[in-house]
Amino acid sequence: MFLSTIALPSGRRLSNLLIVLGLAQILIWGVAGGLAYSSTELDSAEQLVWGAAIEGGYWKHPPLPSWIMHGVLRFTNPSVALPLMMAQAAIVIALALSWRLAREFLPPAQAALSVLLTSLILYHNAGADSYNHNTALLPFQAAATLAFFLATRRDSLLHWAGAGFFAGLSILVKYVAVMPLAGLLLYLLLDRSLHHRRTLIGLLLGAAVCLLTLSPHLLWLQQNDYAPFQYAQSVVLPLQGFGTKLGSVGSFLVTQLYRLLPLLLVLALMAWRRPREKQEALPLQQRDRLFIWIAALSPLVVTILFGLASGTRLEARWGANAFLLSGLLAVMLLRPVTTAGLLKLITVLTVAVHVLLCAGLVLGKSMVAEHFGRTTRANFPAAELALATQQAWRTHTSAPLRIVATDIWLGGNLRAFGLPDIAVLIDGSHHKSPWVRREDVRNCGAMVLDDQSKDGRAGPVNPPEQLALIAGAAATGTWQLAWGNDMKQHRTVRWAYLPPQDPSRCAQ
């Protein structure tokens, strides 16, 4: 009762609180993962490899996350903590933009509450333990949504241009960004107050800016036979029959409910504590409610419709960008009387959930896994592999090691754990690694590392380009790397040494 009589913090104090919580979220993941992990996750390893070079696109994905990684690597070396902190930073920026959007609808306390609730979704904490295209998409999607909303309310061509720019950047992160963007276009159709000439001009301007932003990548796609789409087509699982498609949707939704569980539990607590007769009067117009409904639900709904229409099995991770406005939608529906006591309670619960999830995930993948002799992507002896690679190279030459041909997971871990300056020739393929030319391999030489296991391998088994390199090697051997505390768990890595032919011409 006493807390309910305390005045709510001002908007500035709430902003400062959210900033502190956001910085703490970034720091705790970086410190915990940096101290506990002995290897980095697959998606993070990919970015550490791709981020070594600026390309118009990459064989699996559009380029923007790797460009960002490249920029960050200009100022720091690769490490296991870096992608963890970048992933959480992307989430924090997205939540900050969601706060800014919520302030267009709600008073400061309710807006802060909506952001705290959104942060409880597993995609926005423990589910983002890799810096990948899903986590990198969130701030750009949030920025595009905010700019679009401001454009519709302020009738500003500058905001329309901003919406187009961030829409283009979103697509440069991941092509599925078109799904939430489709929801925004649906809102334009349904809000009749926007059906006038000025909106059409703004929309055309935004589309032009979006196309201009995408144009270098579109040119790259044409020149590279639309490689990311070919990759996507090779990995999707087509479904036959409507019942099978519905089963895929059902499984997808069950997984999304699980990842919403912390949010749902806190919402249940809020509903239980709230007196039935008390609800906050929110200053929302009907068109505002329409926008929130569509912007909050369209990413999920469009994804489901895509799965049904295309007959593609829905992957659980495709829901990663679907819940950025869930907290805002929840506050609009529940209309909680936001007292200082409630805000303090939700803040404490949010911090506790974040700390417990971080500790549980990090310890589970490292110390607990080690104790039970289990292998994870986070407890592989990457530093040991990097040291062995360097020693094998030094046994044969005094030239610097510049190139390692291996799968993308081992390559990213080598860069993070002792060999930050190497270029990775992914699976020995120059198509996958255009930053390494054939003459570079000849001039600089290379180490080839071939993971001999079939389970959990991060690339194709016996890639022909890599086998060809091994066939021409001057020396070969194998290493047995203990993985987990059970000595029966190990990784066999075959290595090969390709001598440098002209180190003086080796590109730096």
Q: Compute φ and ψ for 114, nearest 5 degrees.
A: -65, -40
| Higher local confidence (pLDDT), 455 or 21 | 21
Encode pLDDT of 250-292 as tens digits. Answer: 999 999 999 999 999 999 998 887 765 466 677 788 999 999 9
Cα–Cα distance for residue pair 370/366, rounded to 1 Å:
6
Encode pLDDT of 392-413 as tens digits. Answer: 999 999 999 999 999 999 999 9
Interval 135-148 mean pLDDT? 98
The order of strands in the sheet holding 446-451 is 423-426, 403-406, 446-451, 490-498, 475-482
Mean of the per-residue pLDDT values of the chain: 92
> Domain segments of the chain: what residues?
19-225+243-365, 382-505
**Residue 488: pLDDT band by 50, 70, 90 thresholds?**
low
Q: For residue 79, give both structure tokens.
A: 């490490």
Quickly list DSSP for 5-40.
GSPPPPHHHHHHHHHHHHHHHHHHHHHHHHHH-SS-
Buried b (16+ CB within 10 A) or exposed e, 260-280: bebbeebbeebeeebeeeeee
205 pLDDT more than 90:
yes
364 pLDDT more than 70:
yes
> What is the pLDDT, as a whole number, of residue 491?
81
**Residue 6: pLDDT band by 50, 70, 90 thresholds?**
low
Encode pLDDT of 405-451 as tens digits. Answer: 999 999 999 999 999 999 999 999 999 999 999 999 999 999 999 99
Encode pLDDT of 96-118 as tens digits. Answer: 999 999 999 999 999 999 999 99
Residue given tokens 């107050």 in the structure block: 193
> What is the pLDDT, as a whole number, of residue 240?
81
Amino acid identity of residue 183, one-letter, is G
Q: For residue 126, give both structure tokens.
A: 């423990």
**Residue 3: pLDDT band by 50, 70, 90 thresholds?**
very low
Q: For residue 134, give both structure tokens.
A: 């899903």
- Do 184 and 194 contact (CB within 8 A), yes or no? no
> What is the pLDDT, as a whole number, of residue 4?
43
Interval 59-69 mean pLDDT? 97
> What is the pLDDT, as a whole number, of residue 282?
77
| Higher local confidence (pLDDT), 489 or 135 | 135
Q: How many CB atoms lie within 10 A of CB 454?
A: 8
Nearest alpha-carbon partner for 354 in 3, 108, 9, 32: 32
Encode pLDDT of 336-363 as tens digits. Answer: 878 888 899 999 999 999 999 999 999 9
11 pLDDT more than 70:
yes
**Residue 5: pLDDT band by 50, 70, 90 thresholds?**
very low
**Residue 7: pLDDT band by 50, 70, 90 thresholds?**
low
